[in-house]
Amino acid sequence: TQLLEQSPQFLSIQEGENLTVYCNSSSVFSSLQWYRQEPGEGPVLLVTVVTGGEVKKLKRLTFQFGDARKDSSLHITAAQTGDTGLYLCAAFTGTASKLTFGTGTRLQVTL
């Protein structure tokens, strides 16, 4: 059983469209992170959310942490081809530094 389930698994959209990616769990987390991974590279941290209900914006990306701190969403407004990549949510579990990653959402944005 995966601790962090992401949906959808795959998403193919055209430039200019909006999209939302979800990260769900039955566990409560003290914090949650979102990473983006481009082909041939390692994941890069986008944001860390800590407080239940917290909303953070990073240009066209909006991140929300659920009130109960069990889930999170990533919304992209007016997607661009540069947004193409694998989006991973991750949470610290067990020992303080141990990061568990979600199943991932692979996004393809075309012209």
Return residues touching another protein (CB under 8 A).
30-31, 40-45, 48, 50, 88, 92, 94-104
Residue type, 98: K
Nearer to another protein, 39 or 82 (CB): 39
Contact 111, 15 (CB under 8 A): yes
Distances (CA, A) of 10 to 35, 50, 68, 97, 107: 16, 27, 26, 29, 6
Smallest distance from another protein to CB 37, Å:
8
Smallest distance from another protein to CB 107, Å:
16
Smallest distance from another protein to CB 67, Å:
19
Nearest to 88 by CA among 51, 33, 13: 33
Nearer to another protein, 11 or 88 (CB): 88
Strand 105-110 with 10-14, pairing:
parallel
Nearer to another protein, 29 or 79 (CB): 29
